[in-house]
Structure 1
Amino acid sequence: MAIYESEHTKFMREWMEAHPEEREEQRKGRALWWDKPQELATQKAQRESTVAQKAYPYQSEV
């Protein structure tokens, strides 16, 4: 049984093989939006500041 691979995946794999210089641009873009250092104190403060949600927030108080 063959593993499915989309046309887009095939195109991107072939394009990246033909343009290896784009790997650096890909890394820069990922670093810009995703790979950020995490501060544990900030994460803890955000977790502690959340307000508990009701099970169904749209239900009126009866």
Structure 2
Amino acid sequence: MSFFRRPDYTSEVTQFIDQLKAKKPTLEAEQRAGRALLWDKKLSLQDESEYSEARVPQQPYVYGTSNHPNGK
């Protein structure tokens, strides 16, 4: 072991998360199930094609108002 080695540091947040996982071992599985409900969805080919057709090209300067529908 090196003379200059510092002791391993764990933050309070990391300690809290480790304690939480120790108390509730099913936590990660529940989080993954919750994510699957809202985010991990398969899109049909029709949905993907409609999404790509509805896409509006971004202007070179995002904050410009020259071609904005409400711009003057």
Query: Normalising by structure 2, what TM-score?
Result: 0.51
Q: For the aligned residues, what is the CA RMSD?
A: 3.1
How do 1:1-62 residues align onto structure 2 when only pairs under 5 Å count? 6-56=11-61, 57-60=63-66
More RCO (CA 8 Å, sep 6+): 1
Question: Could you list the runs of 5+ residues in structure 2 that have no partner in the other structure?
Answer: 68-72
Query: Normalising by structure 1, what TM-score?
Result: 0.55
Tell me the number of residue pairs that the alignment of Structure 1 and Structure 2 aligns: 61
- Which piece of structure 1 moves more, 20-29 or 3-12? 3-12
Question: Could you list the runs of 5+ residues in structure 1 that have no partner in the other structure?
Answer: none
The 3 A distance-change label for structure 1 pair 58 and 49 is same
Fraction of identical pairs, as percent: 36
Higher helix proportion, which one? 1
Between Structure 1 and Structure 2, whose CA radius of gyration is higher? 2
Aligned-partner Cα distance in 1 for 2:37–2:23: 24
